[in-house]
Amino acid sequence: MRRGLLLLLLFALLLPTTAQAVDLDVEAQAALLMEKETGQVLFSKNEHEPLEPASVTKVMTLLLTMEAIEQGSIHYDDVVTVSAYAASMGGSNVYLAEGEQITVEELLKAVCVASGNDASVALAEHVSGVTELFVAEMNNRAKELGMKDTCFVNCTGLPAEGHVTSALDVAIMSRELILHHPDIRRFTTIWMDSLRNGEFQLANTNKLIRFYEGATGLKTGSTSSARYCVSATAERDGMELIAVILKGSTSQQRFEDAKTLLNYGFSTYALHRADVESPFAPLPVELGAADTVHLKLPEEGRTALLKKGEIANLTQEIALPPSVAAPVEAGQTIGTLTVRSGEQAILEIPILAAESVAELQWSEMLLRMLQDAFFCG
């Protein structure tokens, strides 16, 4: 199993991380387009420039909250009592009052739809106790994800000296959120909703949710210094893209820039998941407790991002030995499936043992010999 994972890792390191450069009409100071499944960058502009992200910061706030839910340390139906500090937040908010009680699920809705700063702080305090600790966890998580251009000072994106990130880093944390926590779509795809039993109306700050086909999220942001930002996600034909816009000139222009990126991605690229035309035949096992072992492909590492015209011309090569010696461990690499576009290897996928086969013991071997002799006689 470890050999199979090592092969996947080594091949992943050989894959290009950025597609061929293309000139797109994007006005924002910085921009980037990434495909979710592979993490491949399809377009970039000033992708490492440290810029203020405004409320796009909340992507990390949402990520830490969803991770806490997955870990079981908090739950959707937890009732949060709003602190004085959370209630004091300026900027965009849902006007939470000190002492008001509201569930984690409703707070997530308030952050995703209305970009509530007060709701973000309430979530941060519920996850970590105090916002200072939560912000430290934001920065630690950023380092774990390889976000080298990022420094978080708060969980809201309100202007603060030194609070910066980059288009690449926003795409990285956005990918982590939507790839591993698809349940966030329950909130990011809401166009209009309400809080407090219908008393407070919400309208999504991300206008692409209403006006762009396949939009799935994710987060807008704007301040006088950050200008207009968005991490926009959309899915079509099983492929989800992340378009990041930082320091756009106007609110509408950031959405136009995001659409330019998304349109380019969807019109040019598609995902291909490698598979075999028919199941692998069981492979003979030498001196094994079983005569054969079944084979399979791993679930991960089988997807490639290709230009649409390339997919029809792909070829496959299967390399397998005539047999394998016992013992065999489940997940052991037995062979390789190579997917090629012309002469170029697009994917090299380990072919794995589907189950373990123990080595034949001497007593079992003797019994087989006797059975064979008796049968032959």
* Cβ within 8 Å of residue 133, ≥6 positions away: none
Q: What is the pLDDT of residue 375?
A: 56
Tell me 309's DSSP state: G
The model's pLDDT over 294-352, given as tens digits with 9 standing for 90+, comes to 999 999 999 999 999 888 889 999 999 999 999 999 999 999 999 999 889 999 999 99
Contact 166, 49 (CB under 8 A): yes
Label residue 363 by pLDDT band (50, 70, 90): low
Active site residue 58: yes
Catalytic hit among 58, 109, 207, 247? 58
Q: How much is the pLDDT for 361?
A: 79
pLDDT value of residue 302? 93
Average pLDDT over the chain reads 92
What DSSP element (H or E) covers 242?
strand 239-248
Query: Which residue is catalytic, options 44, 92, 115, 174?
Result: 115
Tens of pLDDT, residues 245-284: 999 999 999 999 999 999 999 999 999 999 998 999 999 9
Give pLDDT, residue 22.
Answer: 84
> Which residue from 66, 103, 90 is spatially nearest to 196, judged by alpha carbons?
103
Q: Is the pLDDT of residue 7 over 50?
A: no
Residue 76: CA atoms inside 13 Å, Cβ hemisphere, count?
A: 7
Distance CA 123, CA 115 (A): 12
* pTM, two decimal places: 0.87
Give me the half-sphere count of Cα atoms (radius 13 Å) on the Cβ side of residue 111. 34
Cα 70 to Cα 67, 97, 156, distances in angstroms: 5, 28, 22
Catalytic: which of 36, 44, 45, 55? Answer: 55
Rg of the Cα trace of the chain? 26
Any catalytic annotation for residue 55?
A: yes
DSSP state of 17: S
> Per the structure block, which two tokens stand in for 271?
């995902």
Tokens representing 243 are: 């378009």
End-to-end CA distance of the chain: 43
The pLDDT tens digits for 35-87 are 999 999 999 999 999 999 999 999 999 999 999 999 999 999 999 999 999 99
The token duo for 250 is 């106007």
pLDDT at 9: 39
Q: Please tell me the distance from the alpha carbon of residue 220 to that of residue 126, in angstroms, as a whole number.
A: 23
Whether the predicted pLDDT of 372 surpasses 90? no
Contacts of 71 (CB under 8 A, 6+ apart): none
Strand partners, 234: 215, 241
Q: Say if residues 100 and 132 touch (Cβ distance below 8 Å).
A: no
How many helices (H) and strands (E) would you count in the chain?
A: 11, 18
Crossing angle between the packed helical segments 167-180 and 131-144, to the nearest 10 degrees: 100
